[in-house]
A = this chain, B = another copy of it.
């Protein structure tokens, strides 16, 4: 049944909790803007990430990508969902374009939970966040030379 594919509210809550927790490790001396993320794999493992900034601003890394490379480096590259958390009380934190493209590398049909510190959230799929995107399947030799 379709419902079976959906994540239960308990699981969503747990994932969001872990994204909030991940925020505590943020290394962000430049922006002072802490972000946390927690990604849930198809094998039901969770990986937590935070933003890691750099004195050369453009060399930092977002929390979402940190969580995802952790997963990949541990052998997990199929995802069900990712939750993102910040300290902004009145805004749902949304992923940057680079993180959307990074998510999209691993599929378009999984869920992104954009949250507030109180646990409220908006859910969108990767596809909705990055419409008309390109990914691994577009770089086949056939497509590129045609």
Contact partners of A91 in chain B: CB under 8 A: 134, 138, 143
Quick one: which of B61, B74, B88, B131 contacts A65, CB cutoff 8 A? B61
Contact partners of A96 in chain B: CB under 8 A: 56, 59, 97, 101, 134
Report whether A59 and B101 are in contact in the complex, using a CB–CB cutoff of 8 Å: yes
A1-40 Cβ-contact flags toward B at 8 Å (1 or 0): 0000000000000000000001001010111110000000
Would you call A119 an interface residue if the criterion is a C-beta within 8 Å of the partner chain's C-beta atoms?
A: no
Most buried by B among A22, A30, A100: A100
With A and B bound together, what is the CA distance between A60 and B96 in angstroms?
12
Which bucket holds chain A's interface residue count? 35 or more
Query: How close is A13's CB to chain B, nearest CB, in angstroms?
Result: 21
Report whether B30 and A50 are in contact in the complex, using a CB–CB cutoff of 8 Å: no
Query: How close is A89's CB to chain B, nearest CB, in angstroms?
Result: 5
Would you call A114 an interface residue if the criterion is a C-beta within 8 Å of the partner chain's C-beta atoms?
A: yes
Report whether A135 and B73 are in contact in the complex, using a CB–CB cutoff of 8 Å: no
Quick one: which of B99, B122, B124, B139 contacts A55, CB cutoff 8 A? B139
17 new A-B contacts, CB < 8 A, other than A25-B73, A97-B102, are A33-B144, A52-B68, A52-B72, A54-B58, A57-B57, A58-B58, A58-B60, A61-B65, A61-B69, A87-B145, A89-B146, A90-B146, A96-B101, A96-B134, A97-B133, A122-B132, A129-B131
